[in-house]
Amino acid sequence: MRKTTIPLLQEDEPLFSGQSVFKHKSAALISMPQLRKLSGNKSLFFKAEGDYYLLFLLSGAAEIRVNGEQAAEHYSAGQMILVPMGLLIELRAEEELECLAFHFLPSIHLCARQCPEKPTRDFSHLEMVPRTPVLTHLPFSRGVELWTKSILEYLQYSLADLRLFDVKLQELFLLLRMNYARKIQDEFLRFFHCKHTGFVSRVFKHHLSCRKAEDLAEKLGVSTAVLTRLFEEEFGTTPLKWLLQQRARYVYRDIVDGNLTFTEIAELYHLTSPCYLSAFCRRTFGQSPSKIRRGVLQADDDEADDAEEK
């Protein structure tokens, strides 16, 4: 695979800068897709905290209970179900059932900044309007049906990895926009879209230039307390933890790409020095920057790996 020739500029939107997804860690997907087969009356549990699940019922029928409630909703083969953050569900097979599950984080690269046509909340006003999350579902379109078959095909091969399925998840969101009317897709994704319209996009615009949460709050023109509250709603985590996760992701990508020296990467991501970059990589990835760049999987204590690349 050829190296990218597009430089990452600080003012660019990183997720749309043309970098190859296959060069760095998954942007949204948390784990490999899971194909589960259940016999009648067997159950699966899914807990979405700061993340989401997409469930695809490939065959059979199921009933789903949310947060331990007694009332159950019934679903049949050919339906996809979005489980928003904050829900614990029990999926019980009513007959033999096949279910495909995708577990992923909120990320603007999935919706490509496409907000609902009539947003009910706006980032500029910062009102707190509680929304109780519920399951939403859609029948398979022809495109989604073909997409699920491609996922099953890829799952048969050991060469398929998380980065591949992260791209396939992006493809699914593209299919949602292509195969369903705008109001239908808005309804299905209403608990995935930004709760405060424009907030997530502005966060991604500024976060790489911010070393700490206070810097980001200043960029967005809000207090640190308001920023923390918004982050809990949108990302299900704190601003500092999210900033560290994003920094790790982009550091890893730039090390693998090989276009920047370790000194340049350290300066770009506010890591003060190549030595601090090395410590950051060992703590976060379990490998030195040199080992990551060379693609060596086994970590050892070779101190020469910490030498700066000139």
Q: What is the pLDDT of residues 52-90, one digit of tens each?
A: 999 999 999 999 999 877 789 999 999 999 998 878 899
pLDDT band at 300 (very low <50, low <70, confident <90, very high): very low
pLDDT band at 25 (very low <50, low <70, confident <90, very high): low
- Compare 231 and 122 and report the one with higher pLDDT: 231
pLDDT band at 218 (very low <50, low <70, confident <90, very high): very high
For the chain, residues classed under CATH 2.60.120.10 are 34-113+133-188
Strand pairing report for 136-139 and 79-83: antiparallel
Cα gap 250→264, rounded to integer Å: 13
**How many degrees, rounded to 5, is the angle at CA 271 between CA 266 and CA 272?**
90
Cα gap 118→134, rounded to integer Å: 19
Give the DSSP letter string of 4-40: P-----TTS-GGGS---GGGS--SSB-S--EEEEE-T
- Compare 197 and 206 and report the one with higher pLDDT: 206
Class of domain 14-26+222-306: mainly alpha
The separation between CA 34 and the C-alpha centre of its own chain, rounded to angstroms, equals: 16
The answer to whether the pTM exceeds 0.85 is no
* HSE-up (13 A, CA, CB side) for residue 120: 10
Cα gap 218→196, rounded to integer Å: 18
Cα gap 66→64, rounded to integer Å: 7
For the chain, residues classed under CATH 1.10.10.60 are 14-26+222-306
Give the tokens for residue 114: 């496409």
The CATH number, out of the four listed (3.60.21.10, 2.60.120.10, 3.40.50.720, 3.40.190.10), of the domain defined by the range 34-113+133-188:
2.60.120.10
Phi/psi of residue 60, nearest 5 degrees: 80, -160
Helix (H, G, I), strand (E, B) or coil at 263: helix
> Which residues, 6 or more positions from 249, have their beta carbon under 8 angstroms from its beta carbon?
24, 25, 27
Q: Which of 86, 87, 85 is nearest to 64 (CA)?
A: 87
Cβ proximity of 96 and 24 under 8 Å: no
Q: Which residue has the tokens 């614990």?
A: 88
For the stretch 238-281, pLDDT in tens is 999 888 888 887 888 788 878 889 999 999 988 888 899 999 99
Cα gap 140→77, rounded to integer Å: 9
Give the tokens for residue 303: 């101190």
Give percent above pLDDT 70 in the chain: 77
Alpha-carbon distance values, 210 to 1, 142, 279 (Å): 32, 44, 20
Tell me the mean pLDDT in the region 288-309. 59
Tell me the mean pLDDT in the region 130-156. 91
